[in-house]
Amino acid sequence: MSRRVVLWAGAWLVSGVSLSAQPLTEQDALQRMRAEYPEVRALRLQVREVEADARLRTLRTNPTVSYTREDAGLTADDFLLVSQELPWRGRRRLLHAVADRQVDVAEAGADASIRAVESDLRLVFTDLLVAQERSSALESGMRELAALASVLVTREAQGEGSRFDRLRVEREVAEVEADLAATQIARDVARTRLASFFRPGTAAATLSAAGSLDQPRALPGTTAAAAVGQRADYRALRLAEARWDAERRAAERLRLPSASLAGGIKRVRTAGSSDTGYAVTAAVNVPIFSRGDSQLTRADAGRARAAAQREVLAGQITADVDAARATAIQYQELADRYKADSVGRATELVAIATAAYEEGEYGILELLDAHRITLQARLRQIALSAAARRGAIALDRALGRQVTP
């Protein structure tokens, strides 16, 4: 039975480390994601699509070329005319402003979506880091229990140890083994999710997270009020209001009559002669039935909707920033306090319990309890540090802050 304990510990130690793993820092992962992730490219291409569609409205109308022949017995007339609408209402210039705002809105929306993707990646990276550190703590605990089991097997073989003690330690090893198996499943899931942010086909098994959950992180000092102005999604709504203002001004020009001018050559032929001259036609489109009223209503509704959404978002940003900052600060303080007050003392318990067990003052249950408390303290420290890290990520997301490599 003791050999099984040793083999268990050795097998998990080997399986917990990938020799071909490619350590990535969080900044490395972000930089690689921005270069490889298809969704980031899709968001940028979407901006180009919006720009192309918006520019279509700013193009001049194409000229019209017409040929007309009139034949009335002895007289025949030929007309070759070119007609062009006159851009005298100034609507095209306003449509350029509309197109510019549409592109600005699309770019701000893409930036907001990319910030969200970055936050998602950082959370997945944290999950992988947590799984790795939990695996390390559990493997360390298994090594200690395996060493204890080996000693108990030797003593039992020599008639100096208790079978109950050995079986109880092996039971504890099995519990840690189950926790380690579940943790390594979570690690593999986190690797797969992290690989999905990179070039398609990236091997998840080659990825590992570099860094530590205990790494100190300075929280940004940006206030909630300042965050409202720098969030890309808030900026997109503000630009949307400007876009609808430009749409309204362009729609108002539809109340003015439009004009077109046609000019060309006229040839007149009679039975005995022919002559060539010119022909000019001016036309005015009188706005009686279509005066841009629907466009005005649409522009007013669009602006009001964007303003309402912006007002709601401002409140959400303020609440998110305040909540995320409080969460990050409190969890970081709790993690620091727990590490100073509990982790070191828990480690000391094992030394005391081991000495007492050797002297016969403690039984195996007290010794295993000390090992369990020490392992639980390490795992709790990892959980608190992870919560503080996730709080910092939530704060960066609430602030709309880009984490630059």
What letters, b where the CB count within 10 A reaches 16 and e where it falls short, cover 170-188?
Answer: bebbeebbebbeebbebbe
Tell me which of 208 and 162 has the higher pLDDT.
208
What letters, b where the CB count within 10 A reaches 16 and e where it falls short, cover 115-133?
Answer: bebbbebbbbbbbbbbbbb
Q: Is residue 191 included in any domain, yes or no?
A: yes
Q: Is residue 332 included in any domain, yes or no?
A: yes
Q: Is residue 264 included in any domain, yes or no?
A: yes
Instruction: Name the domain count of the chain.
Output: 1
Q: Is residue 405 included in any domain, yes or no?
A: no
* Alpha carbon distance 117, 64 (integer Å): 49
Q: Is residue 404 included in any domain, yes or no?
A: no
Q: What is the DSSP string of 286-298?
A: --SS--SHHHHHH
CATH number, domain with residue 163: 1.20.1600.10
**The amino acid at 274:** S
Q: Is residue 368 included in any domain, yes or no?
A: yes
Closest to 131 (Cα-Cα) out of 179, 170, 168, 63: 179
Q: What percent of the chain has pLDDT over 70?
A: 93
- Lowest pLDDT segment from 79-83, 252-256, 268-272: 268-272
* Alpha carbon distance 240, 119 (integer Å): 25
Residue 377, domain extent: 2-215+228-399
Do the beta carbons of residue 265 and residue 80 sit within 8 Å? yes
* Candidate ranges 72-76, 337-341, 377-381; pick with highest mean pLDDT: 377-381
Q: Is residue 111 included in any domain, yes or no?
A: yes
CA dist 172 → 72, 97, 166, 190, 259 (Å)? 112, 71, 10, 27, 91
Cβ neighbours around 253 below 10 Å, total = 18
pLDDT tens track for 157-179: 777 667 888 888 888 899 999 99
Three-class SS of residue 201? Answer: coil
* Alpha carbon distance 77, 66 (integer Å): 14
Q: Is residue 364 included in any domain, yes or no?
A: yes
Spatial neighbors of 268 by CB under 8 A, at least 6 apart, are: 75, 76, 77, 274, 275, 276, 277
pLDDT tens track for 317-360: 999 999 999 999 999 999 999 988 887 777 788 888 888 888 88
The DSSP H or E segment spanning 372 is helix 364-399
Q: Please, which pLDDT band fits residue 14 given cuts at 50, 70 and 90?
A: very low
Three-class SS of residue 256? Answer: coil
